[in-house]
Chain A
């Protein structure tokens, strides 16, 4: 097993050789990160005013709260995490993160935790790397908020989620950056036997925001859910590129993404479902709906199914449309103004994703952030 330092050196060499992916890579076709290259300096450590989160990080460094670092973990945990890092396929941003990250911050406690990562103004990149590995048979809920001040910064986050036997792990991930800042999140999630992972991906604001998701269901009874809400206004782009791999029989997954786009904004959803040979009795569902409010708004939807077993249930659906004129008329016929009727219908569309957040306090925080940005989306 190579050490973290050896893995970092290898990652650094690869980034130097291969650079970052761009539009010539199939999975990065729609994610145009102009002016972002490995030459961009790493954001410096800075103090910051926290907003009440349990854990507050600025430019990749822990400022408040307690997190363990990888070297303080038991050897079994260290080797589990490092072996997963070692076998991750090269995708540029993840390796860049590994080469530049200060350390690996590890969350091992069960329960509910609010984390906030903030990037200060400037042309620089932050490379936080977090591993979440709660105790087996526990329930953990994390609310991770990514913010950035105005400036051409990049938040390049790598997250590893490991749900061991019978563990329930919920993550609400919110990308809410200043309109000139961008973020790329690489999320690797592993659900072992009878484990459940639920991820809610909220991409609310920023020049370009992206989630690259790799989900693996490795034991019978494992369930993985990925829900997402992509908001767009002005020329903003949001992207979710997800691969869910059913590597064991009797595993289930559900993927639901909604986009609401105005002006010349765009969103891209790529949902790849892979079912391993002999992984029978698999149930995988995928749905992508987009609501276009502006004439120049664009939604790209790419469902991809790769099924190598024969006793499998897979469904996928995609729709792109505008606000239902019949519903608008109905609301207006009761005295509600056109602007308010539009707002009600847009919020209702978004609510279908937010309703899946089980923790009511977290849902409340998220709802108020979403509502705030929906005003920009609705009015264009």
Chain B
């Protein structure tokens, strides 16, 4: 599904990613953990196609194709979805109008018929119910005046509606109380399938209690310094990132 080869990226001339290698097979869930400033969010944004970052070396192969040449919207249409750490509020843009435009842009790309507003609303209402979201949120402006938890749920609602193949959850647990964390995790787990892969980016082990990864990678100073099974999260929880940092300095 996804293979990242020797990825280097910088912002404003400052190198952030310094040679990332990663392989994610269809149906797998991998977690990227690491201390603040290690490059976790940059990795997510570079995969999504943010133009503020410059890729200086390496490749991102998605379904057999190097996607570095694709624009952000082309990547989204190919099935890459990022649930943002800080979802943007867009006053004046209705959540339903936005989401329906997005759903239909992606359906059109896949050669599917556009959803009419009745069918769209039916599906959105069901998804919102699954997320324990107030149905009124679909009528409001995108993320405008939403609490932290509501914004994260709105990201997951978009994931539900857009039906991506590769989902990147960028610090989705930050700012969530335990109830919202459970709602979001349940929705993500229901969405897992043999054709779909997840990259869960998180600072803490807490989220991984709910969304169980197959593999964990530890990112530090722009490189993956350690990889392992789910047990790695518990080790990190006990020892913190200090050991990793010390080892990397050596």
Contacts and interface: CB of A to CB of B under 8 A. Distances in A.
Do A and B associate with each other? Answer: yes
Contact of A332 (B72, B84, B142): B72
A333 interface: yes
A68 B162 CA distance: 59
B92 A335 contact: no
Contact of A337 (B51, B73, B91): B73
B178 interface: no
Nearest to A355: B92
A367 to B, nearest CB: 13
A340 B106 CA distance: 13
A335 B88 contact: no
Contacts of B109: 335
B156 interface: no
Interface residues of B, number: 30
B162 to A, nearest CB: 7
B17 interface: no
B106 A352 contact: no
A366 to B, nearest CB: 16
A371 to B, nearest CB: 13
Interface string A340-355: 1100110111011000
A334 interface: yes
Contacts of A296: none
Contact of A335 (B51, B73, B91): B73
Interface stretch (B97-105, B112-120, B131-139): B97-105
B82 interface: yes
Residue among A329, A330, A332, A334 with the highest chain B CB neighbour number at 10 A: A334
Contacts of B72: 329, 332-333
Nearest to A343: B101
B102 A335 contact: yes
A332 B91 contact: no
A330 B84 contact: yes
Interface string A40-72: 000000000000000000000000000000000
Contacts of B50: 329
A330 B88 contact: yes
Contacts of B88: 324, 326-327, 329-330
B105 A340 contact: yes
Contacts of B82: 333
B213 interface: no
Given A330-B88, A335-B77, 15 more contacts: A327-B90, A329-B72, A333-B82, A335-B73, A335-B102, A335-B162, A336-B101, A336-B102, A338-B71, A344-B98, A348-B92, A348-B93, A349-B92, A351-B92, A352-B92
